[in-house]
Chain A
Amino acid sequence: MLASDHHRMKLESNQQGIIFSFNGFISEGILFALGDALKKKMSQDDTDVCTMKRVFSVFVEQAQNIIRYSAETLAKAGMEANRISSGVITVGSEAGRFFVVCGNVMRREEALPLQARLEKIRNLDPAGIKAFYLDRIRNEPDPDSLGASLGLIEIARRASEPIQYDFLDIDELNTFYCMKVFI
């Protein structure tokens, strides 16, 4: 049972073109290690430099979003750089294109503003995304943002089609947020 269960799990992942899928608490150290494996895998497969950089960038921004914004987080005040947070992150390829999927639990009240930002970005064409990026980088980040609030726009900029996202309310307080990006 042990081997057959896990073998089935592995086969299903392989059939979906998954390079790796991580589920659990993620730290900046894990981000670095997964990113390193991803670079090496893409390099061995002779992926072109631009595609590698785009996939890597989407992966880093998504992983940092989990670390910073997942509701399931362990962080001590003043130790934000050592924060670990729970989520899922998957990188794979489908019909010749790479994809990166991330997901994490978040508070329902925080989901609404995020959804509005995602929808705004989804409706922009590449020139609009670029203009939005430049506007955000010139101006100060959102007060509630731990990063530069540029991450989502950077992700959209590296994507080859509009980003897909979804929310699933899991109880009165929490929602599961998920995003899939094709590069």
Chain B
Amino acid sequence: MREVPVENMFIPAMERSPEVDFRFLGNRIFLRGEAYPEDAAAFFGPLLKRLSAHCDAIRGQELQVEFRLDYFNTSSAKALMNMIQILENAVRTGTQVTLRWCFQKDDEVMREFGEDFSMELQHVDFQLVEI
């Protein structure tokens, strides 16, 4: 079987979608900004697919993930939950995952979302970070 070359994934931030900076080559994943795209499934679908495939490919390695979000709507929240479930499953198959959930000082809404999502995680090293 021929190995598929690893390629990074970068999508600049738009008015209502976050910056996607998936550095698969260095095992570092960043998502920054606001997320309420017109079609959340179309925006997040390819991200989930790439992330899932990458987690399968790097079993046993370390993966660092950082979410730095200011706002997301409920359709995007669903996609973020799916991403978090992919990370939790990756740990079960031997990948060491760290998730940094960054929120602005005084942003209680984003802090609470971090706490909500952390309840879904048993194996991922979760860090709630005020910035």
Contact = CB atoms under 8 A, between A and B. Distances in A.
Contacts of B39: 80-81
Interface stretch (A55-63, A107-115, A165-173): A55-63
Interface centre among B15, B78, B107 (most CB of A within 10 A): B78
A66 to B, nearest CB: 14
Contact of B78 (A32, A49, A134, A141): A141
Interface in B99-131: 104, 106-110, 116, 119-120
Given A49-B104, A50-B106, A57 B71 contact: yes
A150 interface: yes
Interface residues on A, range: 20 to 34
Given A32-B16, A81-B42, A138-B120, A53 B81 contact: no
B78 A50 contact: no
B71 A53 contact: yes
A122 interface: no
Contacts of A56: 71
Contacts of B107: 49-50, 53
A11 interface: no
A151 interface: yes
Nearest to A56: B71
A128 interface: no
B83 to A, nearest CB: 12
Interface of B: 15-16, 36, 38-39, 42, 71, 73-75, 77-78, 81, 104, 106-110, 116, 119-120
Given A130-B116, A138-B81, 7 more contacts: A49-B104, A53-B109, A54-B109, A56-B71, A60-B73, A151-B74, A154-B74
